[in-house]
Structure 1
């Protein structure tokens, strides 16, 4: 007899796990399925392991910045040992995640999944399941690239599992992945190049602070080639050559490893969505503002798999998963609130933003913009940091519209501004906040 479930969740990342537990706690019969180990991209193949590796790069960079200022000796990264440090976190995740789901009453399944009808799904090795509701939370995958030899590029998952770090590395694309991994690899001693087809990198971040990041990246030994269009990759002995168009000419560069950093797309193309009558938009599941499929009301989507207004960030996936589950449970149409969601590029130092960009704010309001070079402040001076800055955007009533920061520990500081935007706080209200001194937070009052 084919089993009927109240909810089947496809994808055991942050969106799927949170939704599955919420529905099970409410008494629903719930199953979750993934063909990969449980934990999703963030815990296993992205955010968390990346920051584990970044810890080594931070330590090396900190020592180099203070060389001659009280720190002596040659600090270097032992890549295999750093990888083991990363694995000490990632290795237990799948089992712990699955145990937590089982304790919550969720049936855990493994294998590929594909829809066979509007209310049915087939799971590899387990047969067909009927469902009253389904949640698609399959995340994203590297964007397909059309030039010859693109299959030679490794993806971010492969990079995070390299047993040894090659000497020469080229990152194709000028986004988060390329810059974050380039900063790690450069501190580990690799010769690093970022090859980007665009004129500007990290376009969703403040351009003044991106310029600071580019200067800091080059000072760390990272070569950045913009307006370079990849044409083909071919073998060169044990190495590889990439041919790219630049200034009307074809140029070539050789490396031992080439990494895909040219963006990601929703990972839904293996689900046979058409069998369930599920429409897509820009590659993701087309959803209503409350995350329900526009064409199959039994189905919801959350996280990177959904064509929602939310950014492809872990916190967004978490609250979208919870809201989707709540809407299914209660039959409501609650919409996610994306106000005040921060995002960070974890370079060294990090680049952070929350709220509107300056150009966005100027299109809608009369605004006040405070741009401050903080590189000479005590917070940076004590670390030997050479580049840092902050840009705060507010309206004429003093309400904070956006905050943009580049500097050490600014990934933590941006959360203060996230809360301010979420709660509608003003510049004056933020200035009245007492802060421990000397800390990065105590700098906030001087940034306006």
Structure 2
């Protein structure tokens, strides 16, 4: 059995960044990755970057097949770059294989050349998450089933696409495929569309998707899925009536669950949380000393920038003052890459009301922003909530072009606890979406 100073299981964002950092300190690192197609992790291979590339291509009117080929080329380049980022380090070994624990600090890796065994002084679990498939009769076995991964590997555009669920990932795919020219229908069992968002925002998002050609059916129960010839028939219940819809492809973007199966955790004292994620404390320690969990596998928000911050937490503990923790990350902004993008940080107005917050609401339509006229896209609105007493920002929802960029400015102001007047009185370049803060924050609407 070979002893190694650091073992990283999985080539994801947090793990690869940590491996690079440790290697640059001269430390020995073994990185185990089960698939050469996943060098670099979920984001660059099957999630953030390829999906946003396709969304951008769809908005530009690019042919679907050409967009897919461009996406493949981009991913291949990024994957190769990420592999060499680690493999070219003198103290790093990248090993293709499937790792499972044989003890608290020992693993066996099944490789093409046989089983290899290692003992790690430190072990970092970075195995990510995998798509969920709802237990609906016939769905899992359908020849036309797509996940968020396989939807980006299609050689040609489906004419009729049904998306099961109207969550945020589903919205991105719905807008993208509709922009490419597919007829898209979304079936969701919830009674309310985007229930977590404010009603005015959710209504505007739904209207814009419908104008794009997306059909949204809420409060429906999918009963069964059956392939017929080359198509798939979905049977669902709506208003107590059974109905059917035919699709060329069925996309199920129903979230992702942590990858812990076949890790051999039963051979260790590593515990799982109730949601199936690896249980960690605020420093990402598992229930075994010197074993950490990073990224999606530990549960919580599944964003690549959270995985990157996990690296910072471990770096702070090992070679800093140890003050950085999951409990003091501060506010985390999010963006849904529809057109226009929907970005949010802190509380929505709905959440502030439930929490009994005393706030001032600032609100304006995108149509009032000069840059929107330049972009020929006047859809959307901006909302910001400010604490009445402290004058600090407690939340913002920006449904507007380039919102995914300017939401970070709001998050920074919130983290620094700046009074909202700092954004209101800032001198911005012109014409930009960010200069809308000058007008948005002039007068509250409540």
> What TM-score, normalized to structure 1?
0.91
Q: Structure 1 residue 21 and structure 2 residue 13: aligned?
A: no
Q: Which residue of 2 aligns with 1:120?
A: 106
- CA drift at 1:88: 2.3
Alignment of 1:284-433 (within 5 A): 284-293=277-286, 295-308=287-300, 311-328=301-318, 332=322, 334-336=324-326, 337-362=328-353, 363=355, 365-396=357-388, 397-433=390-426
2:231–2:247 contact (8 Å) kept in structure 1: yes
Q: Structure 1 residue 136 and structure 2 residue 147: aligned?
A: no
Mapped partners of 1:12, 1:203: distance in 2: 35
Bigger relative CO (Cα 8 Å, ≥ 6 apart): 1
Alignment of 1:1-400 (within 5 A): 2-36=1-35, 37=37, 38-60=39-61, 77-104=62-89, 105-125=91-111, 126-151=115-140, 152=142, 153-281=145-273, 282-293=275-286, 295-308=287-300, 311-328=301-318, 332=322, 334-336=324-326, 337-362=328-353, 363=355, 365-396=357-388, 397-400=390-393
- CA drift at 1:247: 2.1
Can you give the 5+ residue segments of structure 1 that lack an aligned partner in the other structure? Answer: 61-76
> What TM-score, normalized to structure 2?
0.91
Q: Which residue of 1 aligns with 2:444?
A: none
Can you give the 5+ residue segments of structure 2 that lack an aligned partner in the other structure? Answer: 442-446
Structure 1 stretch 100-109 or stretch 380-389: which is displaced more? Answer: 380-389
Mapped partners of 2:74, 2:165: distance in 1: 28
Give the match's secondary structure for 1:252: strand
- What do you get for the CA RMSD once the two structures are aligned? 1.8
Give the match's secondary structure for 2:137: coil
Mapped partners of 2:236, 2:428: distance in 1: 50
2:331–2:415 contact (8 Å) kept in structure 1: yes
Mapped partners of 1:160, 1:247: distance in 2: 33
Q: Aligned pair count? A: 428
- CA drift at 1:256: 0.2
1:121–1:129 contact (8 Å) kept in structure 2: yes
Q: Which residue of 2 aligns with 1:63?
A: none
